[in-house]
Structure 1
Amino acid sequence: MKEAPLYFLLEIKNKTAYITVNRPDKLNALNTLVLKELAEILTRLKVDDDVRGIILTGVGDKAFVAGADIKEFQKFSSAEARQLSKSGQEEVMDELYTFPKPVLAAINGFALGGGLELAMACHIRLASEQAKMGLPEVSLGIIPGYGGTQRLPQLVGRGKALEMIMTGEMIDAQDALQWGLVNQVVSSEELIPTCERLLEKIYQRSQKAIAAAIRVVNMGLMQPEKGYEEEMDAFADAFDTMDFKEGVAAFLEKRKPNF
């Protein structure tokens, strides 16, 4: 990258980009500048051939992202609030959700409000044993605005999602695991190493097939009537790729594929 990020630590190592929100004095809270910078980072990483996956986390052990910076939108009009929601969803949350490379959220502490929405936009979530998650927006007289009302029900079901949203209360990591909000719960020390091991498994598979799988799964969730057709098309298209030829050859020759 040409310029060092202001609100993030960014490191690329062993095909993985480590994006760390770096606002410890604000518990890594989101504001428009933080979201803008994250959008710029994602745009660059999408076309970086040295990057095959992303681990997104927050600096320190207190918070992944403890929410939005409330002071910033305290005096927003409804029009300004809608633009905030629109830009945050389209430029960051939807970008993460549809990112063609695997994105893992390493939830190392509080993931509240916009922070939980950020984690839910990632493909896979792993949490430390100390992590706490919630959508407390109704306590401020508002509702989640970065896709939380849509993505939480997909992960935990309508009833539990409404319970979390309407009470605004936090749940711990084990409850999040039980309800399907996170994929794994590990110790703080093992959080990043576990993410790395998971990505290493993914890197052994076809990068093109993984990108197609992400796209097709998302299509089925967002537009169910198109999901099966999208799958058939992507399945057929895969037969024309070099990855398919290599994968089949490796299988028949009883060796590991070289994707």
Structure 2
Amino acid sequence: METYYIKSDIRNNIATVEFHHPKSNSFPSTQLRELIRIINELGQNDEVKIIILKSEGDKVFSAGASFDELLTISEFETGKNFFMGFANVILAMRSCPKFIVGCITGKVVGGGVGLAAACDYALADVNASIRLSELSIGIGPFVIEPAITRKIGIASFSELTMNPTEWKSPEWVKEKGLYSHILPDAASCEKAVQEFAENLSVYSLEAMRDLKSIFWQGTEHLPELMQKRAEMSGRLVLSDFTKETLNKFKSN
């Protein structure tokens, strides 16, 4: 049986949240729900001032949605609910009153790009290229778009999503504003993230909370918008094109 986990650890007012899945750190719905629970819990924990979000390993930060679970979706409501999982993670990151610092090591695909974009600050290693591959399987990065566009703008988002097989380099991503720094390897990235979080942790929690509300200003409409976006994905994932494409990937 395949094992996956999300674990959190609190030290010196810094919470580190690490997720793992044997299939390139992809997310089934159960793991998305657990991530939401942990973020909400840490947001209300008075011991925590800063949250670090990272994945296990250094090859792939996250491959996004679980293809295995996508293949099992046979009705609209199930599909909508699955994609609302990613929407609700982003909404939890948005409403969390603590700064969330991303440690992005390895390649980032689909929903993983949404997670990186929803971080308030993201440091990456030289292998952290990104790709939005959704169009190639007959859907689109609908629920994660607001988080990504908030960081890189609609023109860069369009470039990403209309070239679903093309990897964009970490330098490109930094230039567009999604990454703040690029480190030479995963170990350097983890060290830099820890040092950055330690520096932040001495500041006023109230001031950081108010700053975060400014970072996310103008996003009050997101809960309603993401419902509509999840409906788009929930409808398209039932298409013959998507089912056939996903089965090809699974058989390769």
Indicate yes or no: 2:137 matched with 1:136: no
User: Which residue of 1 is the match for residue 209 of structure 2?
Assistant: 211
Asked if 1:57 is matched to 2:61, the reply is: no
TM-score by length of 1: 0.78
Q: 1:219 aligns to what SS in structure 2?
A: coil
**Per-residue CA shift, 1:111-147, capped at 9, x if unaligned?**
1111111111111111101111121100100011432
| Contact 2:90–2:147 (8 Å) recurs in 1 | no
Amino acid at match of 1:63: V
- TM-score w.r.t. the length of structure 2 is 0.80
- CA deviation after TM superposition for structure 1 residue 200, in Å: 2.2
Following TM superposition, by how much is the alpha carbon of 1:219 offset from its aligned partner in structure 2, in angstroms?
A: 2.1
Map 1:71-150; keep pairs closer than 5 Å: 71-76=68-73, 77-90=75-88, 92-147=89-144, 149-150=145-146
CA contact (8 A) 2:130 2:169 kept: yes
Secondary structure of 2:57's aligned partner: coil
Q: Deviations over 1:206-241 (max 9, x none)?
A: 110110111133123557xxxxxxxxxxxxxxxxxx
Q: What does the per-residue CA deviation read over 1:44-96, in whole Å, with 9 as the maximum and x for residues that have no partner?
A: 21222221111111101111112211110224223322222224312x11111
State how far apart, in whole Å, the 2-side matches of 1:134 and 1:37 are. 25
Contact 2:100/2:121 (CA < 8 Å) preserved in 1?
Answer: yes
Q: 1:199 aligns with which of 194, 197, 200?
A: 197
2:20 is the counterpart of 1:22: yes
- Of structures 1 and 2, the one with the larger relative CO (CA 8 A, separation 6+) is 2
Moved more, 97-106 or 70-79: 70-79
Cα deviation for residue 165 of structure 1 reads 0.6
Runs (5+) with no aligned partner, structure 1:
224-259
CA–CA separation in structure 1 for the residues paired with 2:158 and 2:112: 18
Identity of aligned residues (%): 25
Which whole-Å CA distance do the structure 1 matches of 2:147 and 2:39 have between them? Answer: 20
From 142, 146, 150, the equivalent of 1:154 is: 150
- Cα RMSD, aligned residues only: 1.8
**Alignment partner of 1:7 is 2:5:** yes
Q: Distance in 1 between matches of 2:54 and 2:85?
A: 21
1:190 maps to a residue whose letter is S
Matched, 1:166 2:166: no
Assess if the C-alpha contact under 8 Å between 1:126 and 1:195 holds in 2. Answer: yes
